[in-house]
Amino acid sequence: MKHIQIIKSACLIIMFISSSAYAISIAEARHLWSRTGFSQTELLINNHQYMSRVDAIKSILDMTLYTPPLKSLPELDNAIYSALRSKNISKKEKQKIRKTNLRKDRKILQSWWHEQILSTTNPLQEKMTVFWHNHFTSDLQKVFAPYMLRQNQIFRANALGNFKDLLYEFMHDPAIHFYLDNIKNKKQNPNENLARELLELYTLGEGGHYSEQDIKNIAKALTGYRINFKKQKLDFKKRQHDSSYIKIFGSSGSYSIDGVLKLILSHPKTAEFITEKLWREFISENPDKHEVKRISEKFRESGYEIKLLISELLHSEHFWEKQNYDSLIKSPFDLLTSTAYLLKIDKSDTNKLPSLLANAGQKLFFPPDVRGWRGSTYWLSTELIIARKKMLKKYIKRVIKLNKKTNPKYSSILSERLTSKRQFFAVGEAIPRKITKPIDKLIYFLMNDKYNFK
C-alpha cells in the first residue's frame, strides 16, 4: 500500500509539472488574473495562449517592485493636528477644527486612495496595500489623517517586500499606538490593547501559542512610547518604560519593542499564521495544513520575504485546482478594480467612490473594528448584495456620462472593449448574442451573480 501511495504521489507531481509547462487556458488565465489584484489584464487576455503557468506568474511577480503613488500625496495641515493636542486651545476651538478640517481631510485622503487605485500601474501592490490595511487595522475615526496617510505609505512600500521590515516599521509608527491606546500604556498603569492584538491578530493568531502572562509582559515591554505631535513621530520615554526582568515565550530579559518583535519573528507560528491568512486571500477558505506548514517554512527561511510567499502560493497545485476557481467572493474593492481594469476606464468621479464603496460595506480607512472586514460570505448579505449592484450601476453610468462629454464616440469605444475574451474574464462565460448594445452588455455581466466571485 505504501508503494502504491508513493506512485500516486509521484504521478500527481509529474502531472502538475507537465501542466505548468504547457500554455494556460483562458479559464486558468482568468483565475490567475482575478486572484492577483487583476494584474496584467491586457497581457493575460491577449497572450495567455503563448504562456505557461510559470510564465504567467512570473509576468505578474516581475512587476511587483515598489511603485510610488502615481497621484501626488495630499497636502494636510499638520499644525492643525498639533493644535488639537495643545492645552493652550479651548474646547470650543478644538470642536470647530474637528467639524471642519478633520472632515475635509478625511474626504481628501479617501478620494486620494480611490484615485490611486484606479490609476495604478501595479494592481497587485494596491491589492496588498488594502490587505495589510485590513490586517494591521487602524481607522480615520480615531487616528489623525497625517498618521493614517503615513501608515498607508508603510503598507504600500512593504506590500510585497519583507514582513519583518513591515512589522518593525508598523510598530515604530505612531498610528497603531494612537489607535490601540498604547500612548496610555504606563509603567504604573499598563494597557494591554496593543500587546494583545499584536499576538492575536497581527502575528501568532489565537490559540495556545502563548499565555495570558505573555500578553501582560509584552504590555510591560511596550510601555513608555509616546507620540511627539509636533514632529509626528514616536518617542521613547525611558522614565515611563517598565524595564523590569520579565519572561516572554519562555525567554527572560528586559525588553522593548525590538526585543519583543525579535521573539515573535523567531516563533514558527508567526510564519504559519501569515501563510494561512494569505492562503485564504489567494487560494481558498480551507487551507491545507500540510501545505501551509511546508510553504510557511520556506517563508520563514527566506527571512519573511512576502513576494516569495505569494510565489509559492501561486505555484501550489492547490491554487490551480478547479474546485478553487470562482470560490472566493469579491470585496467591494475587488468589484470596483476589476471593472476599472477590465474596461480600461480612463476617467471617473472619484469623489463619489468612497460613499459608493461604504454603502457596499467597505469604506477604506474605516474598517469596522480592530479585526477588520471579515470578507467571505459577509459580503453576500441581502442588504450588501443590493448595495453592490447599486454601486456598480451608479459607477458605470457616471463613467459613461463623463467620457461621453470628452469623447462623443465613447459608446463605440466601449463596444470594442467588450470583446468575447473580456466578457469571459468578467463572468467566465460569453454574453448571449441577442444582447448587442454596449450598455446592455455591461449591465448583463455587472448584474450577473458570477461577477461577485473570483
Question: Is pLDDT at 305 greater than 80 in this prediction?
Answer: yes
- Lowest-pLDDT range of 63-72, 121-130, 144-153: 63-72
pLDDT score recorded for residue 20: 57
Euclidean distance between CA atoms 392 and 352, whole angstroms: 12
Q: Mean pLDDT over residues 76-91, rounded?
A: 80
C-alpha cell at 162: 519583507
pLDDT score recorded for residue 337: 84
Euclidean distance between CA atoms 338 and 451, whole angstroms: 10
CA distances from 123 to 40, 129, 143, 309, 320 (A): 8, 10, 27, 18, 21
pLDDT score recorded for residue 12: 43
For residues 252 and 214, is the Cβ–Cβ distance under 8 A?
no
Q: In this predicted model, which residue has the larger pLDDT, 440 or 131?
A: 131
pLDDT score recorded for residue 218: 98
Q: Mean pLDDT over residues 92-98, rounded?
A: 81
56-65, 267-276, 405-414, 420-429: which is most confident: 267-276
Q: In this predicted model, which residue has the larger pLDDT, 384 or 165?
A: 165
pLDDT score recorded for residue 273: 98
Stated pTM of the model:
0.91
Q: In this predicted model, which residue has the larger pLDDT, 448 or 275?
A: 275
Burial class of residue 40 (count of CB atoms within 10 Å of its CB; 0-12, 13-18, 19+): buried
- DSSP designation for 431: P
Helix (H) or strand (E) holding 317: none
pLDDT score recorded for residue 350: 58
